[in-house]
Amino acid sequence: MKNDWWKQSVVYQIYPKSFLDSNHDGIGDLKGIIQKLDYIKLLGVDVIWLCPVYESPQVDNGYDISDYYQISKLYGSMDDMDTLIKESKARGIKIMVDLVVNHTSDQHPWFIESRKSKDNPYRNYYIWSDQPNDLSSNFGGSAWSYDEKTKQYYLHFYSEQQPDLNWENPDMRRAIYKMMNFWIEKGIGGFRMDVIDLIGKEPDKKIKENGPKLHDYLKEMNEYTFGPANLITVGETWGATPEIGHLYTDAGRKELNMVFQFEHMNLDKQPGKHRWDLKKLDLIDLKDVLSKWQDSFSEDGWNSLFWNNHDLPRIVSRWGNDREYRELSAKMLATLLHGMKGTPFIYQGEELGMTNANFESIDDYPDIETQNMYKDRHATGFSKEEIMQSIHMKARDNARTPMQWNSSENAGFSTIQPWMKVNTNYRKVNVEQSLVDPDSVFFHYQKLIALRKEKDILIKGRYELVDHDNTQVYAYKRIMDDQELFIVCNFYETPADLHYSEGTKEEDIGILISNYPDSPRALDHLLLRPYEAVVYEFN
């Protein structure tokens, strides 16, 4: 297997709680995933990113881990995990696990010890202080909580039940590497690293992201764990710029393969404000940001490509059109992203064009971030309507409704009422329906994935933006030696009338993929219909 096999890969993300419930307790589980491996294989992906399935009180759906070495009973057993790894491998699919090491659960034995006394051997596994400063938690409120027992404050950048680990402590670091090696020996294929840009924190200096020792820690981690193992590694880095992205991903630095950067995901919020403060997306901004990342990684380093994950609203509701043009716009967005250079990530249900939830009651949005925000904003004078509008557009819950398998009750996810309400459109949008329709969003994704395996230019070709100032159409090229692909996407419902100066004759232009059966080839006078997206190839 080549050293950079992950450049050719496409990753499928699974949120276990919402994927498939095999034992009918309303919660998705590992056996459910195993049952659907053939479905995932049919899509054509090579890697599954599995969100946390470890022992956890589930305050933040498993991102609060109380035992890194155990599988939560909610999801099954270690035997199930071994079976999942084995059965995936048999289908040529690797399991990338979620590595949550910025914080643990407050129920982790390390923290239970740490809070007992100031001289406990585990005290310095976490961050304690006499005097809290004004650092805030990403889930609202202060990042410091007072602990009666020892009369000090502990740091938590997420909920109070997610105390931050102290990466300054070499014993703690060694314990984490040991745990990572346990999973590597089990045969996992890689790590997705939760909020990894926070581990270099220096709370005294109010440094949260990108602390001075962050990259030393990652180099050390690489050396002691996955470095020799040829795994896929992706860091979640909300605070990365392209310059910072290179520090993580340039091959010679021996840190990570790629990061998730979120600059494009911040384009529809008011500048300087929180993502709940909505703003319409400007297509030119999107071109600028994506092109900047594409151009910055044309030589060294590597990009990840994504529209969705378990923390983001559904892309078809966000920047597509989930009403009249759900399928066309979902395919357009997929084409736009998968034509770019980098490793694409698909979040469960994205391949069906699943949409945001639109539930009326706040009670149907269980996420801790949503619940906290609702309370905070309500207390500071926002109207219920305003808050619910933000939730409908941006809540993480939108991504977490149960996977829609068929049109039977509870969408075939479970025979009982699931832990979270099913999206009401499941009779129309579901796997069964998608697999009988050759024009479905699913088969469009399948084709995009297959194209990556066939066309080297999709992996290696240089990216070049075309027609920057066009406010309606996103067009770009991929170029490799004397080959060229031309990707043209009408981002909106209004038809577009374009004139490109390509000298090529119509009969020399091939169409690799399109979301209409009869896309035009006359590039000098190109009429694109609503959300039409085409990848042209020149012979």
Residues in contact with ligand TEU by CB under 6 A are 60, 63, 100, 138, 158, 194-195, 236, 238, 275, 310-311, 396
Q: Do residues 533 and 517 make contact, with C-beta atoms less than 8 angstroms apart? A: no
Q: Which is nearer to Ca ion, 29 or 80 (CB)?
A: 29
Q: Do the strands 258-260 and 232-236 form a parallel or antiparallel pair, or are they unpaired?
A: parallel
- Phi/psi of residue 205, each to 5°? -95, 10
Q: Does 23 bind Ca ion (CB under 5 A)?
A: yes
Minimal distance, residue 292 CB to ligand TEU, in Å: 21
- How far apart CA 98 and CA 309 sit, in angstroms, is 13
Q: Which residue shows structure tokens 């149907």?
A: 364
A 10 A CB-CB count for 380 gives 7
- Which residue number, 14 or 498, has a Cβ lying nearer to Ca ion? 14
Helix, strand, coil percentages, rounded to 5, for the chain? 35, 20, 45
236 annotated active-site: yes
Residue 60 interaction partner, one of ligand TEU, Ca ion, none, beta carbon < 5-8 Å per kind: ligand TEU
Quote the least distance from Cβ 52 to Ca ion, whole Å.
16
**3-class secondary structure, 281:** coil
Which one of the spans 7-15, 23-31, 166-174, 327-335 is the region binding Ca ion (CB under 5 A)?
Answer: 23-31
E-assigned strands of 67-129?
67-71, 94-99, 128-129
Residue 443 interacting entry, from Ca ion, ligand TEU, none, C-beta within 5 to 8 Å by type: none
Min dist CB 374 to ligand TEU, Å, is 14
The catalytic position among 236, 263, 369, 532 is 236
Residue nearer to Ca ion on the CB measure, 23 or 129:
23
In whole angstroms, how far apart are CA 499 and each of 502, 522, 523, 526?
9, 9, 6, 6
Taking CB atoms, the residue at the shortest distance from Ca ion is 29
Q: Catalytic one among 194, 220, 311, 397?
A: 194
In this complex, which beta carbon is closest to Ca ion, that of residue 21 or of residue 80? 21
Nearest residue (CB) to ligand TEU, 294 versus 348 = 348
Largest CA-CA distance found in the chain, in angstroms, rounded: 79
Residues 28-47 that bind Ca ion (CB under 5 A): 29
Active site residue 194: yes
Q: Which stretches does DSSP call E strand in 163-300?
A: 190-193, 232-236, 258-260
The CB-of-241 to ligand TEU minimum distance in angstroms stands at 17
Residue 55 touches which of ligand TEU, Ca ion, none (Cβ within 5-8 Å per kind): none
CB of 303 to Ca ion, least distance (A): 36
- Strands 232-236 and 144-147, by their bridges, are unpaired
d(CA 353, CA 359): 18
Tokens of 449: 């994935």
- The least CB distance from residue 160 to ligand TEU, in Å, is 13
- Catalytic positions, written as ranges: 194, 236
**Residue ranges in contact with Ca ion by CB under 5 A:** 21, 23, 25, 27, 29
